[in-house]
Copies of this chain bind each other. A is one copy, B any other.
Amino acid sequence: MTSPAVTPTCGEGELRDLLRALMTTIGDKWTLAVVATMTVGEQRFTAILHSVDGISHRMLTKTLRGLEDDGLVSRTFHAEVPPRVEYALTPLGLTLLEPLAGLSRWVEHHGPAVLEHRATRQHQEIS
């Protein structure tokens, strides 16, 4: 058959463009890991820094800025000494977890198959 019955929601270029814009955001190197870490609740900067493991100081700041700009994460600054900043998923951010879980399930089921395909690539890599 030349026309599969599967027709996902994306039909117009507008939506596809917006979709890709957000995918680029959450698909970047650290955003996903940070969001995953924050599902456990409000976290301090250094707590996230240590949880994510591998993320640099600077990248965590940038990632959180991005999430904050998107309205997915709230930032609460406590002007104490020493200063304390708490981050948490906003209601909007929480809604993202559902489709994200769907993707996660797909990875659980088909991820290994993808990796096998990558390993046994047909067009062998040049010597």
Contact = CB atoms under 8 A, between A and B. Distances in A.
A101 B103 CA distance: 10
Interface in A94-124: 94-111, 113-118, 121-123
A115 B18 CA distance: 9
Given A22-B114, A32-B19, A4 B103 contact: no
A23 B32 contact: yes
Contacts of A110: 92, 95-96
A102 B40 CA distance: 23
A16 interface: yes
Q: How many identical chains are in the complex?
A: 2
A8 to B, nearest CB: 4
**Which of A16, A40, A65, A123 has the most chain B CB atoms closer than 10 A to its own CB?**
A16
A114 B4 contact: no
Contact of A71 (B4, B68, B105, B113): B113
A127 interface: no
A107 B19 contact: yes
Interface of A: 1-4, 6-10, 13, 15-16, 18-20, 22-24, 26-29, 32-33, 36, 39-42, 53, 65, 68-72, 89, 92, 94-111, 113-118, 121-123
